[in-house]
Amino acid sequence: MKKKHIELINYLCEQTRPTTSKELSNALGVSVRSIKNYVNTLNIQANEKIILSSNTGYTIHKSIALKLLDHQDTQIPQTSEERAFYIVKQILVAHTSHLDLYELCESLYVSYSTLKADIAKMNKAFSNFHIEFVCENDTLKIIGSEKNKRKLVSYVIYEETNNKFMNADIIKDSFQDMPIDKINNVITKTFNKYNYYINDFANINLLLHIVIIIDRIKEGNIVNQKNADFVIEDENEHSLVFELCALLEKEFDIKFNKSEQYEIYMLFKTNANYSLPSSQDTLRKIVGSDIIHLANDIIEKVNEYYYINLGNENFLTPFTLHLKNLILRAKNGAFTKNPMTQSIKTSCPTVYDIAIYISIELMDHYNIHINEDEVTFLALHIGAEIERQKTNDEKVKCILLCPEYMKISTQIYNQLLIEFGNQIDIIKTITSEEDLDKYSFSMCITTVRLQKKIVQDVIFIPPFLQQVDKVQIYDTINKIYNNRKNWILKSKFHQFFSAELFLANSNESTKHEVLHVLSSKMLDLNYVDETFEEKVLIRENAASTAFGNIAIPHAMKMEALKTSVSVCISKKGIHWNNQLVNIVLLVAINKADKRIFHDLYEALVELFSKEKVIQLVKECNTFTDFENLILENIVTEYEKT
């Protein structure tokens, strides 16, 4: 709950008569529209009308309000990380230019010194985002480019949704009377029968939505639309969709009407294959231009306010269809109970907050009421898209160029994903070379020879993949992965390495001596806490981190205040258990850097696995020598695209 929400509740509780929106606007220092939004949000969160509206003004149900405030107290951030996320969201998501430090202390129930210590930690932990938390005149603000602020917000929201959406166990817990494994088995067998690829995430996403559809139908919630006629032109797709529907109908003794069949078709298109242009014409016929326009407008506003880009067709199509059905349910007062509501509200408050924002937009636009169960369905769409983006982040971005002929592009697309779905993300299938300039990608797979050269890797393939073509694609993917790792090491070198954390040819000759010296250097710079050395030794005692002439010790958990690498070089060697090493790279990892540090770590291992590099590094006496040697020996063709 935001501070203004609490202020509104407290103010109304003190009043003995109805209070107008203008009075509340003046009392809280916000616009009349904001007051209306606060009221809608609080009523959704309370799952009933906590604040009543009439011609004379607003009144509040005091007993419910006090319970809501008591619940708010249990949600106060408890750890430094939770407080950091809270502060980021208060400034960037709530769009507050600055926060009063003393009010922040009251909201978080911490002392002024604790808050200042948290802010110092945040500046180290989030240094990778190139933003700064600055305290001036007892206020806190964030300084940095808009792009980097957006990256920080995305990170916070991604962390908040980590492992909270999209796994079969959550679906089983939420729909305990539904045979989830049996439904999943029907989906998997049907897709395999028709040779359509569906990856693990898409499979869970599809499973969740089909379970929701079945649950609604079984509860008597049928969506009837007069204009729900649609045609599936592709015979293979037609057979798959209608066989899947028939099997589910038989299993659950239900009947899918045309609207639900279309929803299954849209789920199929957005999870098993890249949506084709013709599907947009069908979608417009089903939902109407008004809802498509509204969906696009909502996506733009979410990107503007919350820095989350939902503008992907894989999200837009099922989301738009859901909006159509939601609006119909709201107008008829036929809401569906959502068993995931409480868990989503508790575990993913920001995603739920985005869903509330969308609900308010819908309520204002259509003059309808949306309850918290329906808000959670919106949150599921948002959370699923965030998970999909996280799943695809590490994959090689790929364009498929294939002139449309006899549906050959669909066949190639499916074959590529069946073979390489865990390594590549085909962001677009295009039919003309001229469209290449419209997209950002690392690899182009094409069935026609390109007329001009491009900087990205290009693989020419025949319409039907042979083993030699698969080997070529596999080799190119590995090359791109390696170049990406090397690029990260080269571009982030000064972010992780520094002269203050460099030691050459000192007197330390044992593992424990070196680890103590290197850990102490990190502690002196406030990059780690006093428990770091002990945690490194616990990890080291479990299994040695030495191989060849190098050791890369680290703690099990990513708890460093700032990601850094402390270096020790010894010509005579350091006794490391039963072997002698010449190079020690003590790694401290901050949680915010975990998404790039895996690649950095692998790049270090690969670089120092070369005997030539080991011999040259042993001769380095200064940090400058070390820096020049590393940068000179990183071979990369990778460029961010």
* Residues recorded for the chain: 641
Is the pLDDT assigned to residue 531 strictly greater than 90? yes
Q: What are all long-range contacts of 177-181, with beta carbons under 8 Å and residues at least 24 apart? A: 178/211, 178/214, 178/215, 180/207, 180/211
Q: CA angle 37-342-375, nearest 5°?
A: 40
Helices (H), 288-340: 289-306, 313-332
Amino acid at 98: H
Please identify which residue in the block is written with the tokens 């590549």: 424
Of 72 and 561, the structure prediction assigns the larger pLDDT to: 561
Q: Looking at residue 367, what DSSP letter applies? A: T
**Residues in CB range of 253: below 8 A, 6 or more apart:** none
Chain centroid to CA 218 = 33
Q: How far is Cα 581 from Cα 511, in angstroms, rounded to an integer?
A: 9
Segment 30-83, tens digit of pLDDT: 888 888 888 887 877 776 678 888 888 999 988 888 777 766 555 678 888 889
Q: Is 426 helix (H, G, I), strand (E, B) or coil?
A: strand
Beta strand pairing status for 396-401 and 443-446? parallel
pLDDT of residue 199: 65
pTM over 0.95: no
Over range 124-137, report the average pLDDT: 90
- Distances, alpha carbon 262 to alpha carbons 197, 215, 230, 310, in Å: 20, 17, 7, 22
Q: How confident is the model at residue 352 (pLDDT cuts 50, 70, 90)?
A: confident
Q: Confidence band (pLDDT; 50, 70, 90) for 498?
A: very high
Three-state secondary-structure class, residue 52: strand
Mean pLDDT, the chain, rounded, equals 83
Instruction: Inform me whether the pLDDT recorded for 638 exceeds 50.
Output: no
153 burial level (CB within 10 Å; 0-12, 13-18, 19+): buried
Domains of the chain are 3-73 (1.10.10.10), 81-160 (1.10.10.10), 168-392 (no CATH), 394-481 (3.40.50.2300), 497-633 (3.40.930.10)
Q: Which has the higher per-residue pLDDT, 519 or 278? A: 519
